[in-house]
């Protein structure tokens, strides 16, 4: 089973505004509400691709209930811990002349609630995969992903971490199966501004030396670069298309890569499916469907176990 954990999930309120102007009443042309948060998005894409998964994390209030119900409608299994106060956040995604986002703070998560999550994770086995994705609320310590991985070392669960800064750096010693920084996040980890392919390879290599088994660097319209455990460096250009929405492209890439790897055990195909899923999402209004992802693949879908 694949488990995703989203500490601070959301409802994503996606609105289209013709010419957004600050300091004015702006009226939308279109609006939609989706279940959001990085782990949840990974779950939705995994479900779209036919992989069984369970979304874990914390929910609060009516927004939390709606978020969980929507995830179920997408075919995800869910097992969120209910928080006694507050509401899961509503993140606003504005599509106008530019894309802008307003992400909420989210409810407070107590130590007891985090303990409840640990208890759930203790039942994982080496056959399971755990995806830790997204930011954590300010009220939690920056080592919470590290603590989770520390508890799981004996279990030999494969763990995917899609996070930034200290949250990511601190887990490397536990040898995460996959990490997926984007170009900016990779530079941020080392306090440098990465420009060239040589620099991407150099710094992704440092992350491998620090413990990451596979490092997938997403490069938006330039595709992605993978340093895999077999010592190979692979590059993948994205398919051509018009970008409609970049929210969730990175999460789709993580899910596509995981699906490709679990279905084929082939890193080349994992990278291809990851890139196809990322781009397919970027080219449509929200997370891509299986058909939309298949439409971006370089080989027949059956070669990826789809």
Ligand X SMILES: O=P(O)(O)OC[C@@]1(O)O[C@H](CO)[C@@H](O)[C@@H]1O
Ligand Y SMILES: Nc1ncnc2c1ncn2[C@@H]1O[C@H](COP(=O)(O)OP(=O)(O)OP(=O)(O)O)[C@@H](O)[C@H]1O
Residues marked active site are found at 251
134 binds, among ligand Y, ligand X, none (CB under 5 to 8 A by kind): ligand X
Q: x/- string (CB under 6 A) for ligand X, residues 248-267? A: x-xx----------------
DSSP one-letter string for the chain: -EEEEESS-EEEEEEE-SS--TTS----SEEEEEEESHHHHHHHHHHHTT--EEEEEEE-HHHHHHHHHHHHHTT-EEEEEEPSSS--EEEEEEESSSEEEE--------HHHHHHHHHHHTT--TT-EEEEES---TTS-TTHHHHHHHHHGGGT-EEEEE--HHHHHTTGGG--SEE--BHHHHHHHHT----SHHHHHHHHHHHHHTT-SEEEEE-GGG-EEEE-TTS-EEEEPPPP---S--TTHHHHHHHHHHHHHHHH--HHHHHHHHHHHHHHHHTSSSSPPHHHHHTT-SS-GGGGT-
Q: x/- string (CB under 6 A) for ligand Y, residues 250-279? A: xx-x---------------------x--xx
Q: According to the binding rule CB under 6 A, does residue 117 interact with ligand Y? A: no
**Least spacing, CB of residue 41 vs ligand Y, in Å:** 8
Q: According to the binding rule CB under 6 A, does residue 59 interact with ligand X? A: no
Q: According to the binding rule CB under 6 A, does residue 176 interact with ligand Y? A: no
Q: According to the binding rule CB under 6 A, does residue 31 interact with ligand Y? A: no
63 binds, among ligand X, ligand Y, none (CB under 5 to 8 A by kind): none
**Least spacing, CB of residue 61 vs ligand Y, in Å:** 25
User: Which residues are at the interface with ligand X (CB under 6 A)?
Assistant: 8, 10, 12, 36-38, 41, 91, 101, 103, 134-135, 247-248, 250-251
């Amino acid at each position: 089973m694949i488990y995703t954990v989203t500490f601070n999930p959301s409802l994503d309120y996606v609105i289209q505004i013709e010419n957004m102007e600050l300091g004015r009443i702006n009226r939308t042309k279109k609006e939609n509400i989706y279940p959001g948060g990085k782990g949840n998005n990974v779950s939705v894409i995994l479900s779209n691709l036919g992989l069984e998964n369970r979304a874990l994390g914390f929910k609060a209030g009516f927004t939390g209930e709606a978020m969980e119900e929507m995830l179920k409608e997408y075919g995800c299994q869910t097992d969120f811990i209910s928080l006694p106060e507050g509401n899961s956040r509503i993140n606003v995604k504005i599509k106008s002349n530019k894309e802008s986002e307003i992400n909420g703070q989210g409810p407070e998560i107590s130590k007891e609630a985090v303990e409840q999550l640990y208890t759930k994770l203790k039942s994982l086995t080496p056959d399971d995969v755990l995806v830790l994705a997204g930011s954590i609320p300010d009220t939690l310590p920056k080592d919470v992903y590290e603590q989770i991985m520390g508890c799981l070392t004996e279990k030999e669960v494969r763990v995917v971490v899609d996070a930034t800064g200290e949250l990511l750096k601190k887990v490397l010693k536990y040898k995460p199966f996959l990490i997926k920084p984007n170009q900016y996040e990779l530079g941020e980890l080392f306090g440098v501004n990465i420009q060239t392919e040589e620099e991407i390879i150099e710094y992704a290599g440092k992350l491998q030396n620090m413990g990451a088994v596979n490092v997938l660097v997403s490069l938006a319209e330039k595709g992605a670069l993978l340093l895999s455990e077999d010592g190979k460096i692979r590059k993948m250009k994205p398919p051509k298309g018009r970008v409609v929405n970049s929210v969730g492209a990175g999460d789709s890439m993580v899910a596509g890569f995981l699906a490709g790897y679990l279905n084929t055990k082939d890193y080349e195909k994992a990278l291809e499916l990851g890139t196809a899923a990322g781009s397919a999402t970027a080219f449509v209004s929200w997370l891509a469907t299986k058909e939309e992802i298949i439409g971006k693949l370089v080989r027949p879908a059956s070669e990826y176990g789809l």
